[in-house]
């Protein structure tokens, strides 16, 4: 269990920190950390740990002070995937589908954070552990780290990224190889495939992540938020739609950089008129209501 200070919410009050048993949540200034804490089980994702991870991600999402989230594992291993010993507790096929949809929500919540996320990987990152890394923005691993999707040898299929996010990151042919064969792979191959960013010396993981965090915190944080949004949205869209996101982001950047006002914009007058039910609001509504009346 961990004691932690949490970031401020939109209402100005810190949200209550729930008690965690299977992970640790920490904050130090603009950096939050989630540490999977079941080392005796190689940090396998128990149902309780998954629930706690969603709660921790919600703390990060609501915080305006946190800029970077680092996810790691206790005991020299990242995460050995779902806790297979619990799977018979998932229930009937409908309940299994609900559980998998919850895990998809968990991964999407991580991927959609408006903070930069870093997976710091040592030891095993397999199955669900690998799926977590694929939902992060950066993955830095030790050279001894290993990864893979061994579900095929258990007679199950991945449910929250092992086929979908992976195919978007490395293509369908390599995704089939990784999933059909189920072999564990060295960290260097994940880097070669573009699945992870860097493999560093086994004793350099912490300092390498700290160096990356330092660089990220030196950037314009609003620009990082915009970049993450347009990259994540654009990769799922056709080229014209994706470039539309780039155009709108450029306009927002211009506005935030103080490049001048648009003469025929409202500059907030429409909002003020609606709240006060002023002349501008009444005129616009009357014109709209009177148009094309039979």
Strand order in the sheet with 138-142: 23-28, 31-36, 68-73, 116-121, 138-142, 198-200
Rg of the chain's alpha carbons, rounded to an integer? 23
Strand order in the sheet with 185-186: 124-126, 146-148, 185-186
Contacts of residue 9, Cβ cutoff 8 Å, sequence gap at least 6:
15, 62, 63, 64
131 is catalytic: yes
Among candidate residues 151, 206, 236, 279, the one labeled active-site is: 151
User: Helix/strand/coil (H, E, C) string of 34-93?
Assistant: EEECCHHHCCCECHHHHHHHHHHHHHHHHCCCCCEEEEEECCCCCECCECHHHHHHHCCH
State which H helix or E strand residue 116 sits in: strand 116-121
- d(C-alpha 54, C-alpha 107), whole Å: 9
Which residues are bridge partners to 119 per DSSP?
A: 71, 139
Report residue 220: phi and psi, to 5°. Answer: -70, 110
Among candidate residues 111, 131, 177, 206, the one labeled active-site is: 131
3-state secondary structure of 31: strand
Which amino acids are annotated catalytic?
A: 131, 151
């Amino acid at each position: 269990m961990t004691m932690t200070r949490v970031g401020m919410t939109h209402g100005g009050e810190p949200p209550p920190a729930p008690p965690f048993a299977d992970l640790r949540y920490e904050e130090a200034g603009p950096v939050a950390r989630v540490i999977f804490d079941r080392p005796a089980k190689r940090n396998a994702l128990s149902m309780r740990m998954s629930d706690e991870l969603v709660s921790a991600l919600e703390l990060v999402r609501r915080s305006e002070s946190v800029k970077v989230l680092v996810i790691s594992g206790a005991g020299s291993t990242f995460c050995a995937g779902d806790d297979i010993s619990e799977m018979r507790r998932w229930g009937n096929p409908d309940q299994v589908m609900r559980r998998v949809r919850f895990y998809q929500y968990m991964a999407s919540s991580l991927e959609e954070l408006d903070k930069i996320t870093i997976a710091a990987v040592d030891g095993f990152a397999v199955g669900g552990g690998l799926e977590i890394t694929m939902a992060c923005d950066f993955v830095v691993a030790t050279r001894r780290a290993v990864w893979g999707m061994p579900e095929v040898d258990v007679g199950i299929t991945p449910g929250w990224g092992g086929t979908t996010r992976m195919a978007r990151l490395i293509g369908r042919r390599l995704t089939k190889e990784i999933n059909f064969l189920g072999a564990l792979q060295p960290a260097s191959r994940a880097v070669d495939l573009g699945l992870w960013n860097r493999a560093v010396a086994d004793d350099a993981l912490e300092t390498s992540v700290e160096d990356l965090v330092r660089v990220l915190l030196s950037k314009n944080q609003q620009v990082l938020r915009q970049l993450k949004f347009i990259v994540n949205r654009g990769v799922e869209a056709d080229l014209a739609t994706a470039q539309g996101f780039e155009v709108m982001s450029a306009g927002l950047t211009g506005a935030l950089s103080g490049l001048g006002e648009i003469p025929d914009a409202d500059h907030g007058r429409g909002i003020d008129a609606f709240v006060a039910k002023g002349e501008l609001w009444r005129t616009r509504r009357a014109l709209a209501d009177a148009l094309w009346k039979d």
